[in-house]
Structures are given as C-alpha cells and as structure tokens.
Amino acid sequence: MMPAHQPLPSGIALEALLVELRRLSWGAADILLAYGRGEQPPYGFARALSVEEGGEGPVSAADLAVNRWLLDGLAGAFPAAAWTVLSEETAKEQLTPGEPLAAEWLWILDPLDGTKDFLQGTGEYAVHLALVHRGEPVLGVVLLPEMEELWLGVMATLSGGAGEAWCENRAGDRQPVRFSGRRALGELVLVASRNHRDQRLEQLLAALVLGDTRAIGSVGGKVATILRGETDLYISLSGKSAPKDWDMAAPEAVLRAAGGAFSHADGRPLAYNSGDVRQAGCLVASHGLSHLELCQKVAVAMASIDPGFRL
C-alpha cells in the first residue's frame, strides 16, 4: 500500500518553499566559497581571521555564518510555520539525550558537511537541509558549492504524486538523475569515505568483491556520485564514532525520492529525531537495483568480521 499523501504544514506551499530553498542554498554557496578563498563573505558576515592571528578559523566562521543565514532565512520567509529547526550548530543547546524533540515537522540542517575537505581544499563539501515528518525525511536539499550543483528531492508522501529528484545549476536549469545500469555485485562501484575508514570496512569491501571504489568527502557528495551514475553504492560502518542525523537526512531524502534505497544492512529504515542523533550501525545507500542482495551479503560478511555487531 502506498503511503498517504501528507501535505506540508498549514500555510506552506511546496513551490513557494522550493523557491526559498533555492535562494537560501545559493546564498550559502556564496558564503562558503568566499570563506574557502579567503575573501570577504557576502550578507554582512565578518571575514575570518587565521588561527595564527588569534582569530576565528575559516571553518568555524563559515559554519556559523551559513548556519545563521539558513536559520534566519527560514524564519523570515515562514515566520508562522509549524515546524522546528535543528542544526548541527545548535544541537547541544536544543537536545536532551534520550528525548526526541516535540516536533511533528522538523528541519535538520548541516551548514557544512565535510569540514576536513573544506580545510584541505578538495571542494568535496556540502550543505544539507532535510524536512522530516514524524521521523521520516520527505524533502531533501544537497548543495555542492564548488560544483555548482543543487540536488533537490521530494518524496511521494509530500508531493501527492511520484517521488522526484533532480539537479539544478544557478540558472535553474535542471538535469535528471542518471543511475547507472550496473546490477551485478562484481560490477558495482562503491563510494567510500576518505577520512573515516577502519579495518572492518576494508575487510567488508574485500568480502563483497565489488567492481571498483572511489573516495569522496561529504555524505552529500557521495550520494551525488550515485545520482550521477558515477558510483552505485555507499556504506557507512560506524567505528568509534557514528554519523549524525544531519549527515544522513538530506542525502537519504534525495536518493530515495529518485528511486534509490537507503537502509540499515538488515533492512531497517533510518529513524530521525529518535532521541539519539547517532546513525550507528551498518548503513547502505544504493541506486536500488541490487539493494536487497547487497544488504544480505553485507549482513553475512559482518557476522564473520564482527560477530554481535548490530547492523
């Protein structure tokens, strides 16, 4: 049975919301590009001082500026909206461990996903915005400033029709999602983290015997490679730390709206605003063509690699 159509909160029209999200996204891109290049950022934000000068570093300055831009933008455009906004930058003040926020509708924001890549100048960082309804992401925005790509995904439960995802440039020109046609596990191309890998992940990849592997920074950037057809799957295997709600919500919404899949390796869906922002376990994102088979093989391999590990 298809899920019931769930409109947006009272007074919010989808097209008007998308217009505002485009404005906020490209504004965030301008802010991050300026900080990354050591230039004066727009919209009145202060230029970052270098660490050597005893000032605020470019990453924290960029984080805080984009966070303020997004929070103020949503509040200004939709002052009466019946939703709550949770950002990585405000989570410590907003959250109580073990207690979900009392919000039917929740924005989950990451103003800068991929801080190491931002610092290293790889360009592989992203901005994430996701609208979550009762624990499930229904709208996602993944912005890749350096690539001038804005990925948008609207789930069927929100649109009332089929789920849809696409990529836009600054001019508003749209490009469709182009999943690869690769199905056999031996042909699939995996996109993995450059900075978050451990021995268990290396063992898992060896057990799966996939076709190839690429390394990309942010989660949003990884999922974008799947949406372009360059890769086919992404696996997150928690080690000492785990990704958080703001790492996964927007990329999941865009990928699933496009017809892809994103789940735990045992098939469980990801849950947001659960009282624990950690997205722990073994998470698998893919173009969907071999998702069930892939998850089954991952589960079998992990039972040998790390017995007792909760997928």
Sheet holding 174-176, edge to edge: 84-87, 105-113, 126-133, 136-144, 149-154, 164-168, 174-176
Q: Where does a domain end: 118, 153, 176? A: 176
b/e burial code for range 116-138 (CB count within 10 A of at least 16 → b)? ebbeeebbbbbbbbbbbbeebbb
Whether 151 and 220 map to the same domain: the answer is: no
pLDDT at 57: 59
228 and 107 in a common domain: no
> Which pLDDT value is given to residue 196?
64
Residue 5 lies in a domain: no
Mean pLDDT of residues grouped by 10 in the chain (311 residues)? Answer: 65 95 98 93 82 55 94 97 94 92 96 89 94 96 97 91 94 97 94 79 92 92 98 89 94 98 97 95 96 95 93 90
Predicted confidence at residue 195, as pLDDT, reads 65
- What total of structural domains would you count in the chain? 2
66 and 29 part of one domain: yes
116 and 62 share a domain? Answer: yes
How much is the pLDDT for 1?
37
Specify whether 116 is located in the same domain as 143: yes
pTM given for the model: 0.94
One domain, residues 167 and 272: no
Q: Are residues 172 and 278 in the same domain?
A: no
Same domain, 193 and 160: no
- At which of 153, 176, 199 does a domain end? 176
Give me the pLDDT at residue 296, please: 96
Instruction: With respect to residue 160, please indicate whether it lies within any of the assigned structural domains.
Output: yes
Residue 188 CA to residue 182 CA, distance in Å, equals: 6
Give the CATH number, domain containing residue 233. Answer: 3.40.190.80
Q: What is the pLDDT of residues 94-124, one digit of tens each?
A: 999 999 999 999 999 999 999 888 888 889 9
Supply 257's token pair: 């709206």
With respect to residue 182, please indicate whether it lies within any of the assigned structural domains.
no
| Domain that residue 78 falls in | 14-176
- Do 149 and 194 reside in the same domain of the chain? no
Do residues 193 and 171 share a domain?
no
How large is the C-alpha radius of gyration of the chain?
A: 19
Question: Is 9 contained in some domain?
Answer: no
48: CATH: 3.30.540.10
> Which of 176, 207, 232 is the C-terminal boundary of a domain?
176
